[in-house]
Chains A and B, each alone.
Chain A
Amino acid sequence: MTELLTFMMGEYAAEIPVDRYYAKNHMWAQSSEAGFRFGFGAYAVRLLQDVYFLDWSLDAPTVLKQGQMMGSIESKKAESDLFAPMAGRLTQFNERLMEDPSGINVDKYGAGWLFEIENETISDAPMAGLLDPQQYLEHLGDVWEVTQRTIKGQVNG
């Protein structure tokens, strides 16, 4: 395994491999031939826990705007809509997850990837608005408070 950074979510250490980039919506991004492959990072998977259901509201290939709604996810603990981490051409979804979305839990940084987005006009990660591991670690420090409040607020409310 490659080098790791860790972010402490309470007792839990979320591992952040340094061989890739991160989107603010807690997806990782790894360069592929013409763009990026995305998946859920440890922070997101920890919040979700066991994933039961994944549904895309789009068919690949298609053109995405940054922040566009793409689908939804349901897990043991939570549910969420899913949004495009960058603009570009969505080339494929990970079909293996459609039958069994628990691949996200089993191998989030590998076989449990979500989808790939190409964008010829974006040549590097910073252009795509992606963060490097150190920047992402700082981002997590900024949002951890809000995350806890969101969860507590909904559980109590």
Chain B
Amino acid sequence: MGKRIAVVISQGQSQNPKKRQLEEDLVTKLMFEAGLDVTVIPHLYDLKPDGTGILALRGIKGDFVICSWLYDRAARWILDRAGVEGHEGTSLLESSADEDEEFEEELGEDDKDRVIESRDLPARKIYCLDLRSHDSVRPYVDEIQRIAKEATVSTVDLMGWIQGSPTENQLQQYLNEPATESGVQTEQAQTPGSPDQNESQVVRVEEQSGRRWYPVIDYSRCTNCMECIDFCLFGVYGVDKVDTILVEQPDNCRKGCPACSRVCPENAIIFPQHKTPAIAGAADLAASLKIDLSKLFGAPEEGKSAVDMAVLERDEQLQLAGRDVVGDSVGLAKNAEGDAAQPKDKLDNLLDELDSFDL
């Protein structure tokens, strides 16, 4: 068997015809590249736990490339959360997000222990490409060709189970999915029937899934400090057998609420669909190319600290869930201790002055 590499295209949620066109152009171009196994999946973030899409991704054993409308950090750690693990493949795709690496290096310079250092990841690389980096397919195809050459590990035939060697679990899952809700279609680049090893194959995984909302943890930043598990009151977080933090119950998360990511001291918690790039997984604050109409459509003036916003967002969600609000009285103990050691700031002085009045 030749050295094949899998390429996954994760479709966007948006109906933007330019985005759809880019996805399809990329699939078409890749079909005629030798030795690639192309899989098209619905939006990576929305895939159901243990659904057809996730199973297809878990079926990929060697190095692979995933192109998605997500920051590369977000894509990588969504995969990790879904049990699709590997080392970070370094993409040379030039984009506005290129300060990533510098930033990562800066983070790596301190002496904090990151969770990733204690994790045993499979010896393969996952390359995440952000489809927002370029408008045309050429840079992606070039980069995928480069990665395919770089990949020296012989990969297991992608999706072998579709062609007749499924594991029992995969088979059951596949058979149990109603035909109308999900399906897998295979296209051959050239002559159907007896696929040549050099030909590329396109597998389309369909899955009817609603939009999801949950955090993913970037373990290359996470220090296992437990601020998030203390702060979140909805039981999203838990710990594994060796007491490492994990997103245990993603679907307990409250739609739209990014509060835990605001209190994370390492900025390790990603909400891939949040509008703020820093929360959605960007390492830098790449400016949007579109006009922001929020101010015209009624956005309130900003000017609150991250922790203040997190406390407000959490109270909002507690209220929605019919529970009592807690303000800043729960889950911020460590911050408060830290503050006590700090010299007093202007606000403290002001409060002291207020206290001294006999009201």
Contacts and interface: CB of A to CB of B under 8 A. Distances in A.
A55 B12 CA distance: 13
Interface stretch (A2-10, A31-39, A78-86): A78-86
B297 A58 contact: no
Contacts of A101: 15
A44 to B, nearest CB: 7
Given A57-B256, A58-B256, A100-B15, A78 B298 contact: no
State the main secondary structure of chain A at its contact with B.
mixed
Contacts of B296: 25-26, 47, 80, 143, 146-147, 150
Contacts of A52: 14-17, 19
A76 B275 CA distance: 17
Interface string A80-103: 111101000000000000001110
Contact of A150 (B256, B293, B319): B293
Given A53-B15, A55-B13, A78 B299 contact: no
B300 interface: yes
A67 interface: yes
Contacts of A25: 296-298
Interface in B291-309: 291-300
B211 interface: yes
B293 A102 contact: no
B29 interface: no
A79 B291 contact: yes
A154 B291 contact: yes
B325 to A, nearest CB: 13
Contacts of A155: 291
Nearest to A84: B298
Given A55-B13, A58-B256, A101-B15, A154 B297 contact: no
A27 B189 CA distance: 49
B223 interface: no
Nearest to B300: A67
Contact of B297 (A57, A63, A83, A146): A83
B291 A78 contact: yes
B255 interface: yes
Contact of A44 (B211, B291, B297): B297
Contacts of A80: 292-294, 296-297, 299
B15 A48 contact: no
Interface in B238-293: 255-256, 273, 275, 288, 290-293
A74 interface: yes
Nearest to A146: B296
Nearest to A52: B16
A67 B298 contact: yes
Contact of B16 (A53, A72, A154): A53
Contacts of B326: none
A69 interface: yes
Interface string A5-30: 00000000000000000001110000
A83 B300 CA distance: 9
B255 A57 contact: yes
A79 B291 CA distance: 6
Given A44-B297, A63-B320, 14 more contacts: A26-B297, A48-B293, A52-B14, A53-B15, A58-B255, A62-B320, A71-B256, A80-B293, A81-B294, A81-B297, A82-B297, A83-B300, A143-B296, A147-B296
Interface of B: 13-17, 19, 211, 213, 255-256, 273, 275, 288, 290-300, 319-320
11 contacts: A25-B298, A47-B296, A52-B17, A57-B255, A69-B256, A79-B290, A83-B297, A83-B298, A83-B299, A150-B293, A150-B295
